[in-house]
């Protein structure tokens, strides 16, 4: 009996001492600003607004652009971790929205190249730093990577416990000629993400954004 | 494996199975007596064990029944004592309020009676007596006038004097009668006053009489409880059940009230303690809101206890009045403060909801939110609810006390039913095991009926053979004896 009580106390102690899992969520949205994707910014704005309405106090959000070299802090357009108090969090959301609106208005010309891998590496770094319990990387792009000459990205990346969602993956002109290109592109990214330790999902219909992140 | 065993005697499973069967039957025939003994003893053992278990349960049931009865009677006795105490308190209140002033009232009545007596004495009818010489004068005045003018004049003067004296006496008598009437008139309010005082005393006495009848009734029921009659136990049990269901219903209502209260303060609480920290799987803000509600209920319990409405904590009930009054003040103040806090939190909730709504609409791109015309009504409603609910929850103490008291009786009754059911099952299992053992013995014999039949045939043939031999032997012996 004494042993049983001792074992129970020990288990209780160990459970109490173990680091609790964070309940916060962190979202990193990569916006493709290359070529024709600048015309899709209004859709991106809708996604950001949805995220702002869904995220709560303690959650983090960062918006970054995908350009010729995306593995850089300079590409982060806006980032915030919402305050503990709901009223302050609401003010932060308003300010964040204003920042994004300003960016969208200022984006006229797209970048020449598309460095998605660099953006994902940057996202992984940011999400790891937040220490959130649920981590999401949202990619608003056609997933066609077009690297600048000399940039090396063909190595395994690390996305541990990160849920990657590709949003609004538009079909290219060549995809219409041979749809297998589109399938291959998606398959390639899916494989890369799973190999990196993450999970993969695609949402093309923006009316189904409720699938995007877990609601509370 | 099974197939290997099956075909151990022959390659044909049918033949092999038959050989196995014959062997098994033969072995079973050989082991008949020990097998019967085993089955019988097992059945008996299960039967005895179950009977023992059932008997011990019956003892437990009897003890529990006795204990339940004691508890029910104790509860009934306590309730009866409380109501008798309350009746005595009422009598005490009546005596203190009405009969406390009885000496003064008595003095007032005595004074009134003395005054009336004095007035009565003063109002005694005493007709004025005529002067003592009046008879002599009357005799002289009545002397017949013989003609002498002087004498006649004298006699007339005497007659006039007599008449004058009579008139004066009449006048004095009228005056005194008038005064007497005045005195009697002044006595009237005093009579009324006396009558009213006596009516008051009568009312008080009547009230006391009613109380005494009620006390008599309570005392009678107290005596029946003390005599521990079965009818009383049944009545009290039934009353406990009723109390249990009613208090449960009220507690469920209170739980819903608590949930509404929780919803009112949980969200704004995150403004105070933050909305991101967790204790286990629950948000700290939710726990804080729950703690506030629990503290309110606890304060309500103490308040009801201090007011002697409930009797859950004897230590509070036995406090002296000054301390109890202080406790009432303190608990009520804390409750009022918490209610105010809740009202403000409810208002803050409304503001936060409004802000959130505005943000959502701005994110949705529908522009600036228009201010609703009667937006203040739900705000005010929430504030009032936030203020009222803590006080409403304070009254949970009353059904909680009934629930706790009646729960003991209900649990006792449930335990009794459970024990009764288990005892019945144990008896059923015991009896079934015994019957099953008899059935198994018969089944065993049915399986080995072939060797048993052969055994019977052999035994009967041996008997038949033995019988003639025995008969021959006996007849030869008889013949030898005769010879």
Buried b / exposed e across A125-138, counting CB within 10 Å, b at 16+?
ebbbebebebbbbb
**Cβ partners under 8 Å of residue A8, min gap 6:** none
pLDDT digits (tens, 9 = 90+) for A197-215: 999 999 988 788 777 776 6
Range of the domain at A120: 25-211
Give me the pLDDT at residue B176, please.
81
User: Do the chains contact at A84 and B270, CB–CB below 8 Å?
Assistant: yes
Share above pLDDT 90 across residues of chain B, in percent, rounded to a whole number: 35
Q: What is the pLDDT of residue A20?
A: 63
CA distance to partner chain B, nearest, from residue A36 (Å): 24
Give B257's pLDDT tier (boundaries 50, 70, 90): very high
* pLDDT for B71: 84
Determine whether B62 is exposed, middle or buried from the number of CB atoms within 10 Å of its CB (0-12, 13-18, 19+): exposed
pLDDT at B177: 83
CB contacts of B282 in chain A (<8 Å) are none
Does this model's pTM top 0.80?
A: no
Q: Indicate the average pLDDT of chain B.
A: 85
| Average pLDDT for B94-113 | 78
Can you tell me the mean pLDDT for B166-172?
85
Which positions in chain A touch B360 (Cβ < 8 Å)? 53
SS3 letters across B414-440? HHHHHHHHHHHHHHHHHHHHHHHHHHH
The mean-pLDDT minimum among A62-66, A199-203, B313-317 falls in B313-317
Instruction: Identify whether the C-beta of residue B378 lies closer than 8 Å to the C-beta of residue B281.
Output: no
Residue B130's pLDDT is: 62
For residue A70, tell me if it sits in a domain.
Answer: yes
CB count, 10 Å around CB of B281?
7
Q: Which residue has the tokens 């009723």?
A: B242
Give the per-residue pLDDT at A11.
57
Confidence at residue B403, expressed as pLDDT on a 0 to 100 scale? 93
pLDDT at B131 over 70: no
Residue A216 lies in a domain: no
More confident residue, B188 or A55: A55
Percentage of chain B lying above the pLDDT 70 cut: 91
Quick check: A86 contacting B, CB < 8 Å?
Answer: yes
pLDDT digits (tens, 9 = 90+) for A98-119: 999 888 888 777 777 888 899 9
CA distance A41 to chain B (A): 15
Check pLDDT > 60 for residue B207. Answer: yes
pLDDT tier, A38 (very low <50, low <70, confident <90, very high otherwise): confident
Residue A11 lies in a domain: no
B268, B272, B273, B276: best to mutate for the A interface, most A CBs within 10 A: B276
Averaged pLDDT for residues A150-169: 87
B134 pLDDT exceeds 90? no
What average pLDDT does this structure show over A4-17?
55
Does residue A42 belong to the interface with chain B, where contact is any CB pair within 8 Å? Answer: no
Q: Are the C-beta atoms of residues B222 and B84 closer than 8 Å to each other?
A: yes
- Which of A69-78, A149-158, B32-41, B68-77 holds the top average pLDDT? B32-41
Question: Rounded mean pLDDT of B244-253?
Answer: 95
Per-residue confidence (pLDDT) for residue A146, from 0 to 100: 80
Q: A58 contacts in B (CB within 8 Å)?
A: 275-276
Which of residues A185 and B374 earns the better pLDDT score? Answer: A185
Contact B301, B310 (CB under 8 A): yes
Say yes or no: B285 contacts chain A, CB-CB below 8 A: no
Instruction: Name which of B363, B364, B365 to mutate to probe chain A: the one with the most chain A Cβ atoms within 10 A of its Cβ.
Output: B363
Residue B478's pLDDT is 60
User: What number of CA atoms fall less than 13 Å from residue B223's CA on the CB side?
Assistant: 6
Among A19, A54, A84, pick the best mutation site for testing chain B contact (most B Cβ within 10 A).
A84
Q: What is the DSSP string of A89-102?
A: HHHHHHHHHHHHHH
Give the separation between CA B416 and CA B338, rounded to whole angstroms. Answer: 44
Residue A158 touches chain B, beta carbons under 8 Å: no
pLDDT in tens, B466-476: 876 666 666 66
pLDDT at A14 over 70: no
In this predicted structure, what is the pLDDT of residue A89? 92
> How much is the CA Rg of chain A, to the nearest whole Å?
20
Place of tokens 């606890």: B298
* Rounded alpha-carbon distances, angstroms, from residue A60 to A54, A137, B213, B277: 11, 12, 77, 15
**What pLDDT, in 10s, does the model give residues B84-100?**
888 888 888 877 777 77
B282 touches chain A (CB under 8 A): no
Tally of CA atoms within 13 A in the half-sphere of A138 that contains its CB: 25
Q: Which of B16-30, B34-48, B128-142, B322-336 has the lowest mean pLDDT?
A: B128-142
Eight-state DSSP code of residue B282? E
The CB-side HSE value for A103 (13 A sphere, CA atoms) comes to 23
A6 assigned to some structural domain: no
Please name the helix (run of DSSP H) or strand (run of DSSP E) that holds residue B452, with its range, or none: helix B449-482
Residue A41 maps to which CATH number?
3.40.50.410
Task: Give mean pLDDT, residues B133-162.
Answer: 74
Residue spans per domain, chain B: 98-226, 230-395
Note whether B367 contacts A: Cβ–Cβ < 8 A.
no
CB contact under 8 A, B275 and A87: no
Distance of CA B116 to the CA centre of its chain: 56
Q: What does DSSP assign to residue B144?
A: P
Lowest mean pLDDT among B180-184, B253-257, B435-439: B180-184
Q: In total, how many domains does chain A have? A: 1
pLDDT at residue A82 tops 90:
yes
Position B479 scores a pLDDT of 63
């Amino acid at each position: 009996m004494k042993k049983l009580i001792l074992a129970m106390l020990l288990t209780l102690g160990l459970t109490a001492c173990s680091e609790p899992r964070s309940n916060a969520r962190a979202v990193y949205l990569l916006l493709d600003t290359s070529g024709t994707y600048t015309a899709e910014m209004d859709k991106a704005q809708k996604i950001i607004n949805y995220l702002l309405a869904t995220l709560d106090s303690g959650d983090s959000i960062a918006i970054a652009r995908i350009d010729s070299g995306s593995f850089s802090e300079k590409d982060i357009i806006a980032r915030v971790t919402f305050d503990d108090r709901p009223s302050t969090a609401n003010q932060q959301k308003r300010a964040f929205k204003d920042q994004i609106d300003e960016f969208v208005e200022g984006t006229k010309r797209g970048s020449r190249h598309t460095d998605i891998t660099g953006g994902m590496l940057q996202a992984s770094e940011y999400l790891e730093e937040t220490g959130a319990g649920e981590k999401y990387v949202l990619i608003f792009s056609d997933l066609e990577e077009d690297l600048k000459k000399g940039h090396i990205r063909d190595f395994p990346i690390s996305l541990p416990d990160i849920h990657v969602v590709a949003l609004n993956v538009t079909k290219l002109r060549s995809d219409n000629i041979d749809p297998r290109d589109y399938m291959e592109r998606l398959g390639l990214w899916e494989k890369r993400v799973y190999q990196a330790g993450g999970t993969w999902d695609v949402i093309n219909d923006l009316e189904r954004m409720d699938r995007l992140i877990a609601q509370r | 494996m099974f197939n290997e065993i099956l075909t151990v005697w022959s390659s044909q499973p049918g033949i092999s199975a038959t050989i196995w069967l014959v062997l098994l039957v033969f072995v079973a025939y050989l082991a008949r007596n020990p097998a019967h003994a085993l089955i019988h003893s097992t059945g008996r053992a299960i039967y005895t064990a179950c009977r023992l278990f059932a008997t011990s349960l019956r003892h437990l049931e009897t003890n529990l029944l006795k204990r339940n009865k004691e508890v029910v009677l104790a509860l009934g006795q306590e309730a009866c004592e409380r109501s008798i105490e309350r009746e005595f308190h009422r009598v005490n209140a009546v005596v203190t309020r009405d009969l406390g002033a009885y000496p003064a009232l008595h003095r007032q009545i005595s004074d009134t009676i003395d005054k009336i007596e004095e007035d009565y004495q003063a109002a005694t009818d005493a007709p004025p007596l005529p002067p003592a010489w009046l008879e002599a004068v009357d005799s002289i005045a009545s002397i017949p006038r013989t003609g002498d003018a002087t004498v006649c004049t004298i006699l007339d003067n005497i007659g006039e004097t007599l008449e004058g004296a009579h008139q004066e006496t009449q006048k004095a008598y009228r005056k005194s009668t008038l005064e007497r009437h005045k005195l009697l008139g002044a006595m009237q309010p005093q009579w009324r006053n006396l009558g009213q005082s006596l009516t008051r005393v009568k009312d008080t006495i009547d009230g006391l009489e009613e109380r005494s009848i009620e006390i008599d009734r309570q005392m009678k029921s107290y005596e029946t409880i003390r005599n521990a009659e079965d009818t009383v136990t049944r009545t009290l049990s039934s009353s406990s059940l009723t109390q249990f269901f009613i208090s449960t219903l009220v507690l469920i209502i209170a739980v819903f009230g608590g949930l509404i209260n929780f919803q009112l303060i949980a969200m704004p609480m995150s403004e105070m303690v933050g909305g991101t920290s967790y204790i286990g799987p629950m948000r700290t803000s939710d726990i804080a809101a729950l703690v506030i509600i629990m503290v309110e209920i606890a304060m309500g319990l103490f308040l009801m206890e201090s007011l002697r409405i409930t009797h859950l904590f004897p230590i509070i009930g036995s406090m002296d009045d000054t301390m109890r009054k202080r406790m009432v003040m303190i608990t009520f103040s804390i409750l009022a403060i918490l209610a105010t806090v809740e009202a403000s939190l409810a208002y803050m909730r409304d503001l936060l909801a409004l802000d959130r709504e505005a943000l959502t609409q701005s994110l949705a791109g529908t522009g600036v939110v228009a201010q609703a015309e009667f937006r203040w009504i739900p705000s005010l409603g929430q504030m009032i609810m936030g203020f009222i609910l803590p006080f409403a929850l304070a009254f949970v103490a009353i059904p909680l006390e009934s629930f706790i008291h009646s729960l003991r009786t209900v649990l006792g009754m449930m335990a009794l039913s459970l024990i009764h059911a288990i005892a019945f099952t144990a008896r059923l299992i015991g009896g079934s095991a015994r019957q099953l053992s008899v059935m198994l013995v018969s089944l065993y014999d049915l399986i080995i009926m072939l060797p048993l039949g052969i055994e019977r045939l052999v035994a009967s043939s041996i008997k038949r053979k033995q019988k003639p031999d025995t008969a021959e032997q006996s007849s030869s012996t008889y013949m030898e004896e005769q010879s």
